[in-house]
Structure 1
Amino acid sequence: MPTLADKTPTCVVRGLSFDALATALGRGRTSVFTLNMMHMRLLAREPEFRESYRQASIVTLDSNLLNTCFLRRRMTVATGSDLVQHLSARRTFRDRSVLVIGNVTAEEAASVMASRRLEVFRPPFGFIHDPAAVDAVIARVREMAPDMVFIAVGAPQSEMLTLRLRRAGLVEPSILCCGAAFEFLLGKQARSPVFFRRTGLEWAWRLAGNPRRLAGRYASDAGFLLSMLGPLHRLARSGALRVGGLQLQFRQEAGPGLTLGRGALGAG
């Protein structure tokens, strides 16, 4: 007889190489999200954000803090910025069309991501709460019909927009939610030194550099972390964590065996 746990929606958080992720994005119909502590907090309170995660093709781990402190460093960490940098160096989309949704110019985006055709759409601040603004983004994606969409705005807007694009029938392009990745690679924002990233202390470096903007967010993340200490303590042993009615399963995987779930966003 099925238990309550059996009926809980599940999202697999995968440890994958950058090459495997680049291959998946390059073949189209793939959406990639990057899980961090703020995302976990949002999963606990935002139903549409949870649904976007449940429907994503691939969710990677974007938290050295989680990996170091609670997963015994057994996962490959793939941040949005590092993945965009890898795609840029590999020139994955040089023969494809690319749309960047975010606060960069076309010239800036083209200097990061070589492509046959590249366009930029800059939505207004807080656009996800404005139906007309969301419709304008959907219309632009439909008009351009790109092979690849980089949604370079913050969570939860990027993930919720991905869900709405797929529900609008735009299933062909791959989508990567990459936050401030283009701004980091352009030098418009400074990334933390490698030591801070690898040890899970990137948040401390960023907070010191911009306390007014980040203090509230990190305080909320810290409160959520404290509330989840019990389940997080068991994470290394169980490999699973329930957040807001969504079961997260953490799994290190080999690239060549990568398959996508039939219900995933962009899987058709």
Structure 2
Amino acid sequence: MKLGELAAMVDTTVQPGRARPLKQKFCEMPFTGVGVRDVLRYLDMRTVNDPFTYIVTPNVDHVVRNWRDKGELVEIYEDAELSLCDSRIVSLIGRFSGVSLPVVTGSDLTAILLEYTIDPQERITIIGGSAEVVAKLARRYGLRDIRHHNPPMGFIRDPAAVMEAAQFVERNPSRFVFLAVGSPQQEILARAIKHRGQATGIGLCVGASLLFLTGNLQRAPLWMQRAKLEWLHRLAQEPRRMWRRYLYDAPKILRIAADHQREQRVLVSVIVPTDRHEELLPRLIERCGAQTGFNADAIEIVFVDYSAEGSARAIVERHATRSRVRIRYLHSRGIGMVRARNLAATEAKGEFLAFITECTLPTPSWLEAMLKVHRIYDADVVLGPVEPVFETEPASYGSHYRRAFAYRSDATTGTALEPRRPLQFTGGGSFVPFATRNAMMLKANYAAMSSAGSDDSVFLARLLRSGKRLVWCAEATVEEQIPAGQLRPMVLLRRVFRQSQLTAGTAMADPPSYGDLLGWIGIGLLQTAAGSARALLWPISRERGMSGLHSLAAGLGKLAFLGGSHARKPVPAVIVEPPAPQPDPVAAPGKETVILETFKSGPSRVSRRWWRRRAPTAA
């Protein structure tokens, strides 16, 4: 039986719960990019009663084995709480590839825990190692309560022996469980224990670390570790056992890294439609480039400029050479924001599409939080809040402006959202119509919107009714910059009208819900009547008068529901014909050249298209 088949015997259903730190793949192996201080801080918070999970420490041998076995066991590393880089060689290769992989070796982590974290009176559980090794360990660190089980050689191929080891851990609950039966046996066992769901504590897959601590094996001197020659010391100690690992298998890491560099793909494309607000773009580029949990090549920003003159081109190109992420620019005349966004989504290279507006600034963990929710809660679309930040505080009607420009939900992170229904004042629904002002989804899920050209709320309502999951992420906040020119009563009332129109119009999304539509029409009539009466108080009290106009605009928007239910015309087909490669002296080394793509589209077909590069300016 193959090891991959043994691993598959375990039920791998992942239950929603606390988010694990986001992993990034390097050389086809997932790594958690955290240092030893963060790991110790996390372990210090663990208690003996916490549900069992485990930590893996992949090194060169793990990476090469995973590549050779075509990823048979990669899900075990994905399912680990932390996957820490145990190899200075892998970390060095990652640095040359633009991937930050802090080194946290299993041997160092085990030594620190036994020396400083674990109390001598505290119970620990050890799976593997001889009774002699355990006795030496107890004497060195003064440990009083060690529960030890040493499974037979080759136990991982015997389901009964695996079950016996798992049940031993369950019968002896400890805060720390040291799994020292060699790789990949210890990783397979850790996952089996976790998915039985009956054990507590945290498993540490530490390999030969206990042998180093007891003196049965000598670890390389510190200077050899720093010189990344620990492998040579290990080879000299055990040449007959280690020659194949270090002289035949290990060099393959260079080939794997080269393949990774060639095949590295964009994970997230950030779509930003823009129209004459280029002064806000530099800060947006800076914020997107500062996203945590990603290497530089995992993110691209796709600006689609639908202004007539392409006003954002110069600023985007100027900042592209200084940004750590890829930046692309598209210019399309004569189309609105929805069709411009569809065009950008079509041209995007990312597996995921993230949508924000040109006036928003994301928090540093914005994309990381979105992807965590997508992975943990099996979301098709992830939505996040938008908080307005005013250039100048409103002199009057401040609460009305904040309510109109904000995008919030009363739901907690991980809640599956539903469209707001008539008379629903609290619960899972959003307070405003669903929108892609702050959203992430798989590019495949966006295809329907690209073909139908629907407004956001109609598109998302259709996704919901087709069985897709829309999930809220309260931590993925973006701030929308509101210029002083937007703080005018007419702008406010137009915005309220449009939001209410979309709220009622989503009831007509395919398949339509006529009961909801009648409910919204009834509410619209009541709001129109009440708002009209209250608006008459304007000469007496401006605040009460504005509340009345606010209700009136909301009521009229619901009565004009047809304007919020129709689908826009589809985007004309655009065929991209790449030019011959040319050297670009403006582009930074190792960064994709910024291609300025200009499309001119008519109502039914593309009348003209060309590619254009900005000529380098003379020195």
Preserved CA contact (<8 Å) 1:91 1:114: no
Deviation at 1:232, TM superposition (A): 5.5
Q: How does 1:82-161 map to 2 (within 5 A)?
A: 82-94=108-120, 96-105=122-131, 106-112=134-140, 117-161=145-189
Q: How does 1:7-86 map to 2 (within 5 A)?
A: 11-17=30-36, 19-26=37-44, 27-28=46-47, 29-44=52-67, 45=69, 49-71=73-95, 74-86=100-112
Q: 199-208 or 50-59, which moves further after superposition?
A: 199-208
Provide the C-alpha distance between the structure 2 equivalents of 1:169 and 1:33, rounded to a whole number of angstroms: 19
Deviation at 1:220, TM superposition (A): 4.2
SS of aligned partner of 2:168: helix
TM-score (norm 1): 0.76
Deviation at 1:146, TM superposition (A): 2.2
Deviation at 1:35, TM superposition (A): 1.7
SS of aligned partner of 1:61: coil
Provide the C-alpha distance between the structure 1 equivalents of 2:55 and 2:229, rounded to a whole number of angstroms: 24
Residues 237 and 208 (structure 1), Cα distance of their counterparts in 2 relative to 1, 3 Å cut: farther
Provide the C-alpha distance between the structure 1 equivalents of 2:164 and 2:236, rounded to a whole number of angstroms: 37
Preserved CA contact (<8 Å) 1:25 1:175: no
Provide the C-alpha distance between the structure 2 equivalents of 1:95 and 1:229, rounded to a whole number of angstroms: 45
Q: How many residues align?
A: 235
Highest RCO, 1 vs 2 (Cα 8 Å, sep ≥ 6): 1
Preserved CA contact (<8 Å) 1:93 1:114: no
State which structure, 1 or 2, has the greater radius of gyration over its C-alpha atoms: 2
Residues 50 and 220 (structure 1), Cα distance of their counterparts in 2 relative to 1, 3 Å cut: farther
TM-score (norm 2): 0.35
Counterpart amino acid of 1:57?
A: E
Residues 46 and 123 (structure 1), Cα distance of their counterparts in 2 relative to 1, 3 Å cut: farther
Q: 43-52 or 32-41, which moves further after superposition?
A: 43-52
Provide the C-alpha distance between the structure 2 equivalents of 1:108 and 1:139, rounded to a whole number of angstroms: 25
Q: CA RMSD in A?
A: 2.9
Provide the C-alpha distance between the structure 2 equivalents of 1:192 and 1:69, rounded to a whole number of angstroms: 21
Deviation at 1:159, TM superposition (A): 0.6
1:95-147 deviations in whole A, cap 9, x for unaligned?
53210111132422323555562111111112111112111101211211222
SS of aligned partner of 1:77: coil
Counterpart amino acid of 1:24?
A: Y
Deviation at 1:87, TM superposition (A): 0.6
Residues 151 and 211 (structure 1), Cα distance of their counterparts in 2 relative to 1, 3 Å cut: same
Provide the C-alpha distance between the structure 2 equivalents of 1:232 and 1:136, rounded to a whole number of angstroms: 39
Counterpart amino acid of 1:20?
A: D
Preserved CA contact (<8 Å) 2:169 2:199: no
Preserved CA contact (<8 Å) 1:91 1:113: no
Counterpart amino acid of 2:87?
A: S
Provide the C-alpha distance between the structure 2 equivalents of 1:114 and 1:231, rounded to a whole number of angstroms: 48
Deviation at 1:156, TM superposition (A): 0.4
Provide the C-alpha distance between the structure 1 equivalents of 2:119 and 2:72, rounded to a whole number of angstroms: 30
Q: 202-211 or 93-102, which moves further after superposition?
A: 93-102
Counterpart amino acid of 1:78?
A: V
Q: 34-43 or 182-191, which moves further after superposition?
A: 34-43
Residues 112 and 80 (structure 1), Cα distance of their counterparts in 2 relative to 1, 3 Å cut: farther
SS of aligned partner of 1:35: coil
Preserved CA contact (<8 Å) 2:54 2:203: yes
Q: How does 1:247-266 map to 2 (within 5 A)?
A: none
Residues 195 and 47 (structure 1), Cα distance of their counterparts in 2 relative to 1, 3 Å cut: same
Deviation at 1:39, TM superposition (A): 0.9
Q: 195-204 or 221-230, which moves further after superposition?
A: 221-230
Counterpart amino acid of 1:173?
A: G
Q: What residue is the counterpart of 1:224 in the other structure?
A: 252
Q: Show structure 2 runs of 5+ residues with no match.
A: 1-27, 265-294, 300-371, 377-619
SS of aligned partner of 1:176: strand
Residues 207 and 66 (structure 1), Cα distance of their counterparts in 2 relative to 1, 3 Å cut: same
Preserved CA contact (<8 Å) 1:95 1:115: yes
Residues 11 and 223 (structure 1), Cα distance of their counterparts in 2 relative to 1, 3 Å cut: closer
